[in-house]
Amino acid sequence: MLRFPFFSVILLLLGLSLAAQESLLPPGTVWTDQNGLHVNAHGGNVIHVGDTYYWYGESRSRVGGPMPGVSLYTSKDMLHWHDCGIVLSTVADTACPIQRGCVIERPKVVRCPHTDNYVMLFHLELKGKGYAAAMMGFADSPSPEGPFTFRRALRPTAGKWPMDFKRKDRKLARGHRPEDYKDWWTPSWEKAVREGMYVARDLKGGQMSRDQTIFVDDDGKAYQISSSEENLTLHINELTSDYMGFTGRYVRVAPGEMNEAPTLLKHNGTYWLITSGCTGWAPNEARMYSAKSIWGPWTRHPSPCRGPKAKTTFDGQGNYIFRQGQRFIFMADRWQPKKLSESPHIWLPITFDAEGVPVIEWKD
Ligand code: DGJ
């Protein structure tokens, strides 16, 4: 008779500790879905529609070999994630830019308020070409659940100069030829980069576009921010009102500073760009820029990260800033290049200091 209450208490304590575990997703650990598998959605983003969170990301092969495409996980509480499968699949058709063997990175999905369509933009590298293609792709779906239909892949803003390039700037840019600069990182090469040598080189075929994100402003206008010009310079590209193309209006940010992993938030009228340096899959120190207008001028700030491991962005690389009301979550990947599917996720709150500058601190 006396044993029963004793074991009940033990069971109760066990139950409480399990419940406590389930109420946490510690950053940098394995985050399991309904099947007990790590959430295989990397470099992506989260949107909130109705009572559901939709998390899209790179689905990396768990067994090696070509990537399946873009995955979707859903949740009602941001804690219990349900694997909904692949919503944009790589295909067998060898004439299609997203044929199996291609690389799809940093997919982002947003709802277009003008069309009520869900639009996906992603970085695309063609099969067998390494990272040379530097393209981006468009896909869409009438529902956040997908599936998404692939529409096209291209390099942005073909034939267009940056908005702030006057006649004399165009002439200067055209005056440099990459073949005359065999060595990178010399003062004359740096000057040529700043003056738009690679913009001029890629003018006809479109600008390179690798790491990328989408930002939707308060007025419903959307922008793609991408690593362009050999990853040396960021471009902010305005999207058309249906978010399925480019208007051709764009500016360059931080020419020659080598930024990847762009993420963007707006707080109290100021735009904050949080990026990384370019060190492949290895982590590096985050960078930050601010501007009062999306078109700049952009000012550089120290990294927003504070505390231990701030110098390596907590061993991660940002992929998106999820916003709900006045709360912002910095989403990052702790890349495991030998097994990308298992790369842990790091989600941390972004707070603002007394001057309104974003701060990211580690939270267990
Ligand atoms: C860093 C980028 O941010 C990733 O998305 C990926 O492209 C790797 N480089 C590849 O080395």
Q: Ligand 1, residue 43: give the atom nearest the CA.
A: 5
Q: What are phi and psi of 171, to 5 degrees?
A: -65, -45
Residue nearest to atom 3 of ligand 1 (CA): 261
Q: If pLDDT is split at 50, 70 and 90, which confidence band does 24 have?
A: confident
How does residue 38 score in pLDDT terms, banded at 50, 70 and 90? very high
- Record the tokens describing residue 231, joined without a space: 């990853």
Most informative mutation of 67, 103, 105, 258 for ligand 1 (most atoms within 8 A of CB):
105
Q: Give the ligand 1 atom nearest the CA of 210.
A: 7
Predicted local confidence at residue 8, as pLDDT: 57
Decide if pLDDT at 10 tops 70.
Answer: no
Query: What's the angle, vertex CA 322, arms to CA 40 and CA 209, rounded to 5?
Result: 70
What residues form DSSP beta bridges with 306?
361
> Which residue's alpha carbon is at the smallest distance from atom 1 of ligand 1?
280
For residue 17, what pLDDT is reported? 44
Query: What's the pLDDT score for residue 6?
Result: 54
Q: How far apart are CA 51 and CA 189, in angstroms?
A: 52
Q: Which atom of ligand 1 is nearest to the CA of 261?
A: 3
Instruction: Take residue 215 and report the two structure tokens written for it.
Output: 């930002």
Distance CA 117, CA 144 (A): 9
Site to probe by mutation for ligand 1, drawn from 135, 228, 260 as the one with most ligand atoms within 8 Å of Cβ, is 260
Percentage of the chain beyond pLDDT 90 is 93
Q: Which long-range contacts (CB under 8 A, 24 or more apart) does 346-355 make?
A: 346/27, 346/28, 346/314, 346/315, 346/316, 347/25, 347/27, 347/322, 348/27, 348/314, 350/265, 350/304, 350/321, 352/267
Report the pLDDT averaged over residues 304-314. Answer: 98
* Domains, the chain, ordered by start: 29-154 (2.115.10.20)
Examine the pLDDT at 1 and tell me if it is beyond 50. Answer: no
pLDDT at 290 over 70: yes
**Distance separating alpha carbons of residues 179 and 316, to the nearest angstrom:** 35
Q: Residues with Cβ < 8 Å from 116, sequence gap 6 or more?
A: 142
Distance 281 CA to ligand 1 centre (A): 6
Mean pLDDT of the chain: 94
pLDDT tens track for 138-197: 999 999 999 999 999 999 999 999 999 999 999 999 999 999 999 999 999 999 999 999
Q: What is the pLDDT of residues 184-221, one digit of tens each?
A: 999 999 999 999 999 999 999 999 999 999 999 999 99
Mean pLDDT for the stretch of residues 5-22 = 49
Q: What does the pLDDT read at residue 18? A: 43
Q: Is the pLDDT of residue 2 over 50?
A: no
Could you tell me where the DSSP H helices lie in 175-288? 187-194, 197-201
Residue to substitute in 317, 336, 340 for testing ligand 1 pocket (most ligand atoms within 8 angstroms of CB): 317
